[in-house]
A and B are shown apart, each in its own frame.
Chain A
Amino acid sequence: MAKKYAMVHDNNLCIGCQACNVACRSENKIPESVYRLQVWVKQEEYPNGSLGYEYHRQSCVHCENTPCVSVCPTKASHVNEDGIVLVDNDLCVGCLYCVAACPYQARYVHPVTKAPDKCTFCHESRLSRGEEPACVTVCPTEALVFGDLNDPKSKINKVLSERVTYRQKERLGTQPKMYIVPNHKGGINS
């Protein structure tokens, strides 16, 4: 059966250390000044005056209903059989329609190929070797969980069954495969 890869980012475990960001850069040889992945740290003040932090994983959320793929005129942007959204550089003309249409600002123009690039769940490297994405492996607090939604026994399905999660901008109907365990304090800004 085809896989359906997804990820969980736990806002309570994340400490904003950027180890994932750095691991992604070295694994995927990301050129200087562009990023597939960042974790934005935002200070929050709760109603009782206490302070805390919110962590936002800024990367492709691997939508199931993909705006970027729908608009791509050449089908260069596509979803592979495992539910991972990819760009086929051989087909890309560089119209940047996908970059504009992505509601998550997940895509940037690769300075060398001039084609859009984005998180691939390390599909081309680690995943094909049977390893987890670099960000997941390196995370010191295990805030990231990766796995196959089609496998009832997978670790990610266990987490999704036990924890409250939400997805960003769900109102747009994109059905992201990036689930967020919200901070136990404060409100959720989806």
Chain B
Amino acid sequence: MNQIWGSMEQYNTVVWHWPIAVYLFLAGLSAGAIISAIVVKWMKGNDVSPWDGIIKAGAILAPVTIGAGLCLLIFDLTRPLMFWKLLIHYNFGSVMTIGVLALFAYMPVSILFLFGVFKKELAVDGPFKFLAPIADLALNYGKALEAITLVLAVGVGAYTGFLLSAMNSYPLLNTPVLPALFLASGVSAGISANLVVGLLFFTHSTKDANVSYLHGLDVKVIFAELFFIFILFVGMMYQGGATAHAGAAALGTGGLSTLLWVGVIGLGLLLPIGLNFALPHGVKHSHAFVIFNALIVLVGVLALRYYMLYAGQTFVG
């Protein structure tokens, strides 16, 4: 403090820290996991029990990751004991309220999906026998519930982007492409997490056809992500002034830009695409490669969330 007006510590533009980045990652992953599980479940031959390992993986991952993310979010509030006020006081103009309501609906349907898929393990042989009717409900109204779940999952995946893009205090975040980017990268993370869990823990029930379908889908989503990132920065350049400045700084300053180029774009997006085209068919379809590939995609998506959150709040033009 060497200026006469006093300490300027409070004027740090970085308000939200890494727990929020991890939350954004987990929320996207959860949505992506259940979206890809439902897409696989709706394919011919996959719509009856015994369920494919991918579907099982998604059914577990979706509620677990969103649950973990929400815990993180609540503990990151400066007044965590007040969090329940979020559940009874609404501001429909706030993306956060919309998110709370979406999650309010999304949590139960994702748990229903879990009970439907794991009816035998949880409600027949397992400790939750009294919940058997719930599992039956999930199975009997499967299609309808899954359709609702799909819509809610898209909502959850996209809302994390709107949450940030709603703030015009941060030029890098205040862009209409952010929700699309977050939804796409969330789907990519969900697919990858499903592949890892499916191949590691449900090896016997995971069909190769589904694995290569999802893996192929992931490559397409990654192309979309690259394009969204491109649009984001080009859009900033075209806006000129402080926004263009912030964009240029975000692309080229310090450790954050290294994270973008190396972690997000290099490792998370270009390497999976490159490997997918360069490697021979046999290697590409081996379980070990699919798992490896999925892990680097996950690291890339986490890096993207971290980068967007910190660079967004750091480079304000």
Measured CB to CB, the residues of A under 8 A from B are 16, 18, 21, 33-35, 38-41, 58, 67, 70-76, 91-97, 99-103, 105, 108-109, 114-115, 172
Docked complex Cα distance between A96 and B170 (Å): 15
Asked whether B83 is an interface residue with its Cβ less than 8 Å from the other chain, the reply is yes
B85–A91 touching, CB < 8 Å: yes
Q: When each residue 63-91 of chain B gets 1 if its CB lies under 8 Å from chain A and 0 otherwise, what string results?
A: 00000000000000111101101100111
Contacts of B95 in A (CB 8 A): 71
Q: Which residue of A lies closest to B73 (CB)?
A: A95
Which of B11, B77, B166, B169 has the most A CB atoms < 10 Å from its CB? B169
Task: Given contact pairs A70-B93, A74-B86, A92-B85, enumerate 4 new A-B contacts (beta carbons under 8 Å).
Answer: A39-B5, A101-B167, A102-B169, A103-B168
Measured CB to CB, the residues of B under 8 A from A are 3-11, 13, 15-16, 77-80, 82-83, 85-86, 89-91, 93-97, 100, 166-170, 313
Which of A18, A38, A114 has the most B CB atoms < 10 Å from its CB? A38
Q: Which residue of A lies closest to B89 (CB)?
A: A74
CB-CB nearest 5 A-B residue pairs: A94-B78, A94-B79, A73-B96, A74-B89, A108-B10
B313–A95 touching, CB < 8 Å: no
A70–B94 touching, CB < 8 Å: yes
Taking the nearest CB of chain A, how far is it from the CB of B1, in angstroms? 8
A to B contact number (C-beta, < 8 Å): 106
Given contacts A39-B5, A115-B79, A100 and B94 within 8 Å (CB-CB)? no
Docked complex Cα distance between A103 and B95 (Å): 17
Q: Which residue of B lies closest to A104 (CB)?
A: B169
Taking the nearest CB of chain B, how far is it from the CB of A167, in angstroms? 15
Docked complex Cα distance between A35 and B83 (Å): 26
Docked complex Cα distance between A16 and B4 (Å): 9
B77–A72 touching, CB < 8 Å: no
Docked complex Cα distance between A76 and B93 (Å): 13
Contacts of A72 in B (CB 8 A): 91, 94, 96
B5–A18 touching, CB < 8 Å: yes
Contacts of B79 in A (CB 8 A): 92-94, 114-115
Residue in A16, A41, A75, A99 whose CB lies within 8 Å of B15: A99
Q: Which residue of B lies closest to A174 (CB)?
A: B168
Docked complex Cα distance between A106 and B87 (Å): 27
A115–B167 touching, CB < 8 Å: no
A67–B167 touching, CB < 8 Å: yes
Give 5 CB contacts A-B under 8 Å.
A40-B5, A73-B96, A94-B79, A96-B15, A97-B94
B80–A94 touching, CB < 8 Å: yes
Which of B8, B13, B79, B166 has the most A CB atoms < 10 Å from its CB? B79
Docked complex Cα distance between A67 and B7 (Å): 25
Docked complex Cα distance between A115 and B82 (Å): 11
Given contacts A93-B85, A97-B94, A105-B13, A73 and B77 within 8 Å (CB-CB)? no
B91–A105 touching, CB < 8 Å: no
B166–A101 touching, CB < 8 Å: yes
Docked complex Cα distance between A92 and B82 (Å): 7
Q: Which residue of A lies closest to B93 (CB)?
A: A70
Q: Which residue of A lies closest to B79 (CB)?
A: A94
Docked complex Cα distance between A83 and B80 (Å): 30
A115–B78 touching, CB < 8 Å: yes
Contacts of A108 in B (CB 8 A): 10
Docked complex Cα distance between A156 and B305 (Å): 46
Contacts of A99 in B (CB 8 A): 15
B82–A73 touching, CB < 8 Å: no
Contacts of B3 in A (CB 8 A): 40-41
Docked complex Cα distance between A71 and B97 (Å): 9
Residue in A16, A74, A96 whose CB lies within 8 Å of B16: A96
Taking the nearest CB of chain A, how far is it from the CB of B83, in angstroms? 6
Docked complex Cα distance between A96 and B82 (Å): 13
